[in-house]
Amino acid sequence: QVRLLESGGGLVQAGDSLTLSCAASGRTFGSLAAGWFRQAPGKERELLAAISSSGRTWYLDPVKGRFTISRDDAKNTVYLQMDSLKPEDTAVYYCARANELRLTLSEAEYEYWGQGTQVTVSS
């Protein structure tokens, strides 16, 4: 059974940093595409960051320059470094993996999902 397990969420103050991890088990994803999504209360889930097999990245405008997605293929793990956090970053954060090598920006193309981790940023 393929599982993605997020960790690293929590309660922080505005301006703080957090690093989320997404460890996969049950399958070796290698350099296949990965993404981080978030869903705030009352809002739809949105893609924040994505990374392709070649390391090309994409970011949603509100997180550009503050968030960094990376991948450690040997550890079968994807990371999201979040700096200069703002109260509006409060949400449940999800990682996802796709059976694609290219940068994958469509939620529908992600086949594997984690259960989510809560990030709360206080002002």
Tell me the pairing of strands 10-13 and 117-122. parallel
For 75, the 3-state DSSP assignment is: helix
Contact 57, 63 (CB under 8 A): no
Question: Do 115 and 71 touch, CB atoms closer than 8 A?
Answer: no
DSSP code of residue 31 = T
> Do 49 and 69 contact (CB within 8 A), yes or no?
yes
Q: Please tell me the predicted confidence (pLDDT) of residue 92.
A: 98
pLDDT-based confidence at residue 81 (cuts at 50, 70, 90): very high
pLDDT for 118 equals: 98
Write the pLDDT tens digit of every residue in 55-78. Answer: 999 999 999 999 999 999 999 999
Across the range 95-113, mean pLDDT stands at: 96
Residues 30-34, mean pLDDT to the nearest whole number: 94
- DSSP-assigned states of every residue in 4-30: EEEE--EEEETT--EEEEEEEESS--T
